[in-house]
A and B are shown apart, each in its own frame.
Chain A
Amino acid sequence: MGKNKLLVPVTGIAVGIAALLLTAAGNPANMGFCIACFLRDIAGGLGLHSAEKVQYLRPEIVGLVLGAMGMALAGREFRARAGSAPALRFVLGMIVMVGALAFLGCPLRMVIRLGGGDLTAVAGLLGFIAGIGVGVLFLKKGFSLGRAYKVKKADGFVLPGVMLAVLALLIAAPAFIHFSQSGPGASHAYWLISLAGGLVVGALAQKSRLCMAGGLRDVFLFRDCHLLIGFAAIFVTVLAGNLVTGQFDPTLAVQPVAHHDYLWSFLGMALAGWGSVLLGGCPLRQLILAGEGSGDSAVTVLGMIAGAALAHNFGMAGNADAMTDGVFTAGGVAANGRIGIVIGIVLLLVISIANLHKEEKAK
Chain B
Amino acid sequence: MRLVVISAGVSDPSSTRLLADRTAQKTLDLLGESGTAASVGVIELGPLAVDIARAIVSGFPGERLQEAIARLAAADAVIASTPVYKAGISGLFKSFVDVLDNDLLIAKPVILAATAGTARHAMVVDEQLRPLFAFLRALPVPTSLFAAPEDWGSPALGDRIERAATEMVLTLRSGVGRSIADSAWTGYQHQFSGNATRSERSASDVDFSTDLMRLAAGGLG
Chains A and B form a bound pair: no
